[in-house]
Amino acid sequence: MVNIGTLKTKVGKKAILCGSGELGKEVAIELARYGVEVVALDKYEDAPAMHVAGSSHVLSMLDGDALESVIRTEKPDFIIPEIEAIATDRLVKLEKDGFHVVPTARATQLTMNREGIRRLAAETLGLPTSPYRFASDVEEFCQAVAEVGIPCVVKPVMSSSGHGQSVIRKEEDIDKAWKISQEGGRAGGGKVIVEGFVDFDYEITLLTVRHAGGTTFLKPVGHHQVDGDYRESWQPQVMPEKAIAQAEEIAGKVTEALGGYGVFGVELFVKGDQVIFSEVSPRPHDTGMVTMISQDLSEFALHARAVLGLPVPEVKFYGPSVSKAIVIEGNTREYELGALDEVLSEPGVQIRIFGKPEIEGQRRVGVLLATDETVEKALAKVERAYAKLQVKVC
């Protein structure tokens, strides 16, 4: 039996968010709907989830001592990681001491590092993946590239949203790719994964929900990326029934191996009827922001529900839907999104503004959402809305 008592009392529930970006903000909102106290952590002030949380702390979550100190002081019922750059060894220690890490400390540790999850998927579970090698220094890196072959993709083992990622298309790209990987990793320089190119028709995210009532697979989400960072996503991605069944089988196996309750973003390559495992995130996925308009329970609502130990008897899909990231380039603490009345003039269009406090280079600051009779019509609608948006960098 799940009980939630009065906020900020001994019978209340408290959750700590390790990372307070746009995904964490939506999780905080959904937890608040259940009367859960939310404490938001991030490395900078005024992170999006801090706007809606009950309290917050600013710290580097790679600083194990600082992270452990805050958690032991706050004594949360749930520790919910939202980013990759976390001292996962401390989460393992805290879990052993009785704290509840979502979905589990082991899942967080394995998936925050591409080496852990790739070895689990390919070597333990025997799932189909791209050819790969790991490298810790320049010599190993050059050898890995030679073994995997050109073209290939290079990623730091700890990064997200395309940070540190590049493609080697010719030998002259090798030195540059190594440099990019060492500058872009979330935990600084270090080990990388070199992946062989996979011949695929499209990529999907299969949002998989492990909850008290079992496992629920949402409709597949297709997406478009630029330099490894998502720009548009749509739901559903049209797929053969055989491919859907295979995708669900792969997602079921990997999420069962990771364990715990919550939303998992399982990334897959699809070629005809064949599906190849790519990565998995043990939390809501950026491409899954489309679920804020496509279904009655968004991925964030589902995550909150699962984390609290509640069942998910049904997810009602409304219809073909699209999300489009609003990306701004510049260096400023002041920017303005304008003409919102025109942006929202068509039926079936919504916007979420994240409230990020500054931009350094290129940053995602919001998302446009649209729904229509078909994915193609929804894509056209969201593009029209985006064209009306006026962005001013002050």
* 226: nearest Cα among 157, 150, 152, 161: 161
What are the φ/ψ torsions at residue 339 (nearest 5 degrees)? Answer: 60, 35
Active site annotation includes 24: no
For residues 174 and 208, the answer to whether their CB atoms sit within 8 Å is no
Angstrom distance (rounded) from CA 277 to CA 252: 12
Q: In the chain, what is the greatest distance between 2 CA atoms, to the nearest angstrom?
A: 62
Among residues 7, 20, 30, which one has the least CA distance to residue 77? 7
**Choosing from 160, 181, 216, 371, which is the catalytic residue?**
160
**DSSP symbols for 134-157:** EESSHHHHHHHHHHH-SSEEEEES
Verify cis geometry, omega within 30 degrees of 0, for the bond prior to 151: yes
Give the active site residue among 26, 37, 267, 372: 267
Catalytic residue among 84, 173, 232, 279: 279
Whether 35 sits among the annotated catalytic residues: the reply is no
Active site residue 364: yes
Query: 287 an active-site residue?
Result: yes
Q: Indicate left, alpha or beta for 260 from its phi (over 0: left) and psi (-120 to 50: alpha).
A: left
| Catalytic-labelled residue, pool 20, 203, 364, 366 | 364
**Catalytic entry in 286, 294, 298, 299:** 286
Angle between helices 22-33 and 299-307 (to 10 degrees): 60
| 275 contacts 268 by C-beta, under 8 angstroms | yes
Task: Please list the active-site residues.
Answer: 160, 162, 267, 279, 286-287, 364
